[in-house]
Amino acid sequence: MQEKSEVNTDIPNSSKEEFWLTEYGPRNTAISLRVKYKLFEKKTPYQKIEIFDSYDYGRVMALDGFIMLTEKDEFIYHEMIAHVPLFTHPEPKHVLVIGGGDGGAVREILKHKSIEKVELVEIDEEVVKTSKIYFPEIASYLEDERVEINFQDGIEYVKFKHGVYDIILIDSPDPVGPAVGLFEESFYKNAFASLNDSGIIVAQSESPFIFPDLIKRVFSIFKKYFPIVHFYIANVPTYASGMISFVLGSRKFDPIKDFNPERVKSFVSTLKYYNEKVHLASFALPNFFINLLK
């Protein structure tokens, strides 16, 4: 079980006015960001939400002590969770986002002209409220008329939707608290059934350095339900180990064979990380990751 963060004021050989946000990992590792202030803290029925103002990464959101996003590098994760599936699907119209209450994934989805409706299912209304105040450049897209927000448990929500979605993004935190069930087979089975017959699911599947067993387990589950399963990776400086993976399950379209780079070229000017070469390169897994999947 990962430990909680704390604002650690006991850094050796530093003056007292230095404050650090430290996220303690499960394997004797930690990541620390020097912060100026803690701007907000609230214990909701689901988690502790903290917002900090950091020196090097702008504002930072932490949930139960885990760094969720920073102003400086959130674009990497949000562009990669959204554009890889949306450029794999020929014409995505109806998208479900589970989690993602900060609005970053929704912001990226809405850049696609084909989008008609985005359903965001976020269990904690406080995350949306807080994001709108402290991360307006991310959360403001949640006001778009194409977005419908449901403050519900995503695990329950997918039980009652069949054959609906072109794309489902599981933009979850680490497998703790209400998010534990978002990494279970029963949830994935219901999410699979919620897709239409050419649908695609992408879930953030953690770091292969920290969660190798989770990645193996998720792979074996996805292989049961999807004819096409791929992992892809991105480097996020403020995520423990610096590497995050995504698992993509697709009923019809392959993210490599069916990918048309021409579709991306006119888009790239609005993006800071994703482009047609990054799309393909992100599926080139290092040997240690490939061996995890054997």
Q: Which are the catalytic amino acids?
A: 171
Report H helices in the chain. Answer: 74-88, 104-109, 125-134, 136-139, 154-157, 185-194, 212-225, 262-265, 276-281, 287-292
Size of the site for ligand SAM (CB under 6 A): 27
Which one, of 152, 105, 133, 293, lies nearest residue 213 by Cα? 293
Locate tokens 């519900």: which residue?
152
Q: For ligand SAM, what does the binding mask look like between residues 156 and 185, x meaning CB under 6 A?
A: ---------------xxx----xx-xx---
> Is residue 121 a contact point for ligand SAM (CB under 6 A)?
yes
Near ligand SAM by CB under 6 A: residue from 31, 33, 82, 98: 98
64 binds ligand SAM (CB under 6 A): no
CA 245 to chain centre: 10
Which listed residue (101, 208, 249, 255) binds ligand SAM by CB under 6 A? Answer: 101
Query: CA 282 to CA 284: how far, in whole Å?
Result: 5
Q: Is 77 among the residues that bind ligand SAM (CB under 6 A)?
A: yes
Q: Shortest Cβ contact with ligand SAM: which residue? A: 99
CA distance linking residue 191 with residue 184, whole number of Å: 11
Please report the sign of the dihedral spanned by the C-alpha atoms of residue 123, residue 214, residue 165, residue 89: positive
Shortest separation between residue 115's beta carbon and ligand SAM, angstroms: 18
Residue 97 is a binding residue for ligand SAM (CB under 6 A): no
**Which residues contact ligand SAM by CB under 6 A?**
46, 63, 68-69, 74, 77, 98-102, 104, 121-124, 127, 153-155, 171-173, 178-179, 181-182
